[in-house]
Structure 1
Amino acid sequence: MSSWFSPDTAPQAGASSDDVRQASAAAHAAQARRRERIAQGHLLFIALVVLAPLVAYPLLRLVLLSLSGAHGLTLDAYAKFFSNPDARGVIGTTVWILAASAGIASVLGVALAALLFFKPFPGASLVTRFLELFVAFPSFLVAFTLIFLYGSQGSVSIGLQRLLNLQQPPLDFLFGAGGVILAEVVFYAPFVVRPTLASFALIDLRLVEAARSLGANASMVALRVILPLAWPGIAAGTILCFLLTLNEFGILLVLGSAHLVTLPVAIYSSATVDLDLPTAAAGAVVMLAMSLSLYALYRRVNRRSLQGVSRGR
């Protein structure tokens, strides 16, 4: 008996071809409904067992905590957060550290990806593999590595002091904005390299050769040909870099000073030092809104990038 038919839907002797086709269609429709019910059951299981206790419930508790007060639900925590001059300064510090770190990391990542793709050198593939592995490192490890190298007692600083016969170590910038920006640039630039390389790989290199044959120099080819074609992937990698840098905490905890308080550090201090959980929750909700906004922008840009890939195929 053919595997197209189940015992219940097998054609009877003398059945017409129309009856056979209808029975086959009914069997396939029943199998499709069963697969859909199974998939819905799996999705419901994931939602109830994984997403609800690990994602939805903590977020709901966070929002409710930010709205809690002595007499029920209130917006006092948000009013206290936004009316506090220190909080406004914290948000300003967070924004400029984010702009400097993610901006430099994005430019460096795109430039490094262009060098690896368009000007390959011996060992370029090894560098690419190392950058892929580098993103798996914890961020605070980068901070400690920079301390061991460029701190006041680091090997590079001590070496320069002995070489130049100085009384004091010449490098003393890590514990502050300079060190935080340097560490975040070093750590997050590889997050831009990979999507940029993938975007470059989709470019038809015949267009680049055609532009060069028409007399375009390297800068014109980069700005007029490569950048417009690779822009969706570059933008997606840049937004991802901004999103990850916004939520960075380990580097700030290791290299940040008392004068460099960003939003993650302020939330941590409110919760653990001041024991003001509603205010800390309000700050966390504000940071969550910023992160979700960047993530929504990332998804939109990434979707446009994928649509461009599908059209190119």
Structure 2
Amino acid sequence: MAAEVLNLPVSNQRRSAQKAWSRSIWLLPPLLLLAGLVVYPLVLVAGQSFAGGFVTWRAVIGSAEFRDALVRTVQIAVSATIGCLIVGTFLAVVISFVPFPGARIVSGLVDAMLALPSFLVALSFTFIYGTAGILGAISGGFLTSPWAVILAEITFYTPFVMRPLLGAMGQIPRVQLDVAASLGGGPWRVLRTVVLPEVRPAMAAGGSLTLLLTLNEFGIVLFLGARGTTTLPMLVHTKGIVMFDYPSACVIAVVQILLSIGLYVALRAGLARLGDHRVALD
């Protein structure tokens, strides 16, 4: 009897080890899939960027073409994100708090926009602002300007801000709004002091996602063909597909990847601090 009692811890350890081993086996398929579809191509791109040694890196990074594309990429991404935050917040407030017929239909259209490809927005812009478009005669060269790219990205990516805002605004208790209004708060004051602080995490999450997506946007820029709007993704396409300069294209692609990962880490850290600050206030 005593020997069986002594063997119990050993048997429990074996069972724990077997469970841990079975769980680790289930991790292998997704890890192998990620390694084959994500890690391996990235390693190939990084290796190709050093095919010519550091000479290629110095030539690409030191070129005015690369610096202009980098600045233009950041400018368009930041401008489009700010526009999406403004338009998305306004539309979310109207849909959530201003009763009007068809509010559910508009909300459903927002969800439908998330499933559409970005080039459809650029295609519609050609029908509106193109030479044969509705506003082509008075738009001048708007369609081929960076402003057209920014407006097209705002049009396409605004739902990515609206969707989390609509969900967050739907969670605000109506009693809280009624109490604020009964204390003498007008609509703008209630919006500024009650609604916006409550939905700040959702706004930050939607804005962060939009910033990452616009930073890597390629289809809208390519389809519009805006003059002087060479972004980093467009420069990768030009170097690799048009000029067959694969080492330079890989260098720019690596920079784009590092920029996106760095921005993602920074945004995640900012969202985490915002969440901790919100918990502390609660």
TM range (shorter): 0.7 to 0.9
Report the CA distance shift for 1:198/1:27 in structure 2 as closer, same or farther (over 3 A).
farther
Identity of matched residues, %: 34
Whichever residue aligns with residue 51 of structure 1, its letter is L
Displacement of 1:205: 3.2
Residues 146 and 228 of structure 2 are in contact (CA less than 8 Å); yes or no, is this contact kept in structure 1? no
Residues 76 and 214 of structure 2 are in contact (CA less than 8 Å); yes or no, is this contact kept in structure 1? no
So what's the TM-score if we normalise by structure 2? 0.87
Q: How does 1:187-266 map to 2 (within 5 A)?
A: 187-266=156-235
Q: How does 1:2-81 map to 2 (within 5 A)?
A: 34-48=18-32, 50-69=33-52, 74-81=53-60
Displacement of 1:32: 5.9
Residues 236 and 249 of structure 2 are in contact (CA less than 8 Å); yes or no, is this contact kept in structure 1? yes
Residues 139 and 250 of structure 1 are in contact (CA less than 8 Å); yes or no, is this contact kept in structure 2? yes
Helix, strand or coil for the counterpart of 2:135? helix
How many residues are matched? Answer: 279
Residue ranges of structure 1 left out of the alignment (5+ in a row)? 1-14, 159-168
Residue ranges of structure 2 left out of the alignment (5+ in a row)? none
Structure having greater relative contact order (Cα 8 Å, sep ≥ 6) = 2
Displacement of 1:38: 2.6
Q: Hey, which of these two has a bigger chunk of helix by percent? A: 2
Residues 180 and 256 of structure 1 are in contact (CA less than 8 Å); yes or no, is this contact kept in structure 2? no
Whichever residue aligns with residue 95 of structure 2, its letter is L
Higher alpha-carbon Rg: 1
Residues 168 and 199 of structure 2 are in contact (CA less than 8 Å); yes or no, is this contact kept in structure 1? yes
Residue number in structure 2 paired with 1:106: 85
So what's the TM-score if we normalise by structure 1? 0.79
Aligned with 2:258 (options 289, 294, 300): 289
Residue number in structure 2 paired with 1:170: 138
Residues 95-129 of structure 1, C-alpha deviation per residue, up to 9 Å, x if partnerless? 21112222111211111111111113211111111
> What is the RMSD computed on CA atoms of the aligned residues?
2.9
Whichever residue aligns with residue 96 of structure 2, its letter is F
Helix, strand or coil for the counterpart of 2:76? helix
